[in-house]
Amino acid sequence: MPLSNLLTELFDDIDKPVIYWQAGIILVCMAVGWGLARLLRGTYGHPQEGHTSALQAGVTHFSYVLTPVLIASLIALAKLVALPYLGNNVKLLRVALPLVGSVAVIRMVFYLLRRAFARRGPLGAALVTFEKIISLMVWLALALYLTGLWVQVDHYLDTTELLLGKKHVSMSAILQGAVSVAVMLMLALWAGAALEERLMGVGGLNLSLRVVLARMSKAVLIVVAVLVSLSLVGIDLTVLSVFGGALGVGLGLGLQKIASNYVSGFVILLERSLSIGDMIMVDKFNGKVTQINTRYTVLQGLDGTETVIPNEMLISSAVQNLSLSSRQVRVATQLTVAFDTDLANLMPKIVEVCKGVERVLPDPEPHVILKNFGADGFELDVGMWIDDPENGRGSLLSEVNLGIWSLLQREGVSLPYPTRDLRIADPKVTTLLETIAAKQ
């Protein structure tokens, strides 16, 4: 049937009995589609932990678009079955099919966009605006199709050409290419997000290895999507060799820092020198590694501030990792006691005070050493071990120091004040100071 004004034809047949048959078919398709979607979601939409089948994964991911897709499929099937009996009098089915199909397309696009760009947070204003634009374009295309104007619009786009370089390219080809690239990119981003979730849930792999596999797979999927979409619209991929050469020159000259950061990011993830959750110190920054991206790494300090560090800095600078091979970290505090202190009695009691602090590990156990004979007293070093460096050291040292201070007060141990003797060798200065003191 040539494309025509379906709405006008539908209004011409509105008083015929065949319309009621088609309306009943559509209602049955809607009820059956809704019931099948609910049945599939109830049966496969909540997979148990462990192995997940392809059907379970599909129902889980596409439950949002399952109902309109099933209804559209049932209407298309009903139209094929009804054609031998109703002939061409299926105008209502012809109108209902693109309507339900448009709802399915809009829901599918929304699902892909949200899975790719808003998985872990609220929808951004830009994404909401983009969704509204897509909805408007889909409904506009549907209106053109139903009113029969699509043929004229398509003819205009085919006959209108733009000069690109030395070639004339029709607007239809440009739009087809843009839509093809957009669709393939959305599918690639969705596939990358789904693959990342599956990889991050694999407990047998190292966290850094899971991250680098997810990043690389997403990059490969995007490149493949762009190449495939360009091939679909008839663009010769050999022309990309010129672009590749220009991109290489750009990376070598102006983008070498950015390229270095990207390469450094993959090196960090592959060699596993840093992992998410590690406590590190680099240059004047320290904190917990919360993200390792391909260009930068995010450190969260103990005060809540986040620092974005270029990955090249983590490769070229010395990095102190407090939890690379072991999470146990030594923490120490120092104090000076008077020379008349009984160290044999005091030092074991300080060890017991440290053992009473919750975060201090019993093995290796705390220890106290006589570090030096200072100018004012015995200089003691009190060391202990913890296995949670991400919680900081300040509160721990404060608790330990308060316990030691209480112990010193109970034992009558004094903390000596610095004392200095001032001697003046010149007797004239001594006489002058005595005279000034006598007048006062």
282-341 pLDDT, tens digit per residue, is: 888 888 888 888 788 888 887 788 888 888 888 888 888 877 777 788 899 999 998 888
Domain hosting 343: range is 329-411
Is 183 part of a structural domain of the chain? no
> DSSP character for 325?
S
Most distant CA atoms of the chain, gap in Å: 133
pLDDT exceeds 60 at position 278: yes
Is 248 part of a structural domain of the chain? no
Is 259 part of a structural domain of the chain? no
What is the model's pLDDT at position 248?
Answer: 65
Can you list the alpha helix ranges (DSSP code H) found in 2-44?
A: 6-12, 17-44
* pTM of structure: 0.50
- Number of domain units in the chain: 2
Is 4 part of a structural domain of the chain? yes
Output the domain CATH number for residue 358.
Answer: 3.30.70.100
Is 107 part of a structural domain of the chain? yes
Distances (CA, A) of 355 to 276, 306, 371, 379: 30, 33, 21, 21
What is the model's pLDDT at position 1?
Answer: 39
Is 308 part of a structural domain of the chain? no
Lookup: tokens for 243: 């672009």
Letter for the amino acid at 335?
L
Lookup: tokens for 266: 């993959």
Is 418 part of a structural domain of the chain? no
What is the model's pLDDT at position 384?
Answer: 92
Average pLDDT over residues 179-201: 78
pLDDT above 90 covers a percentage of the chain that reads 11
pLDDT exceeds 60 at position 56: no
- The last residue of one of the domains, among 126, 159, 192, is 159
Is 396 part of a structural domain of the chain? yes
Helix (H, G, I), strand (E, B) or coil at 336: strand
| Other CB atoms within 10 Å distance of the CB of residue 314 | 25
- The last residue of one of the domains, among 159, 174, 191, is 159
- The last residue of one of the domains, among 125, 159, 193, is 159
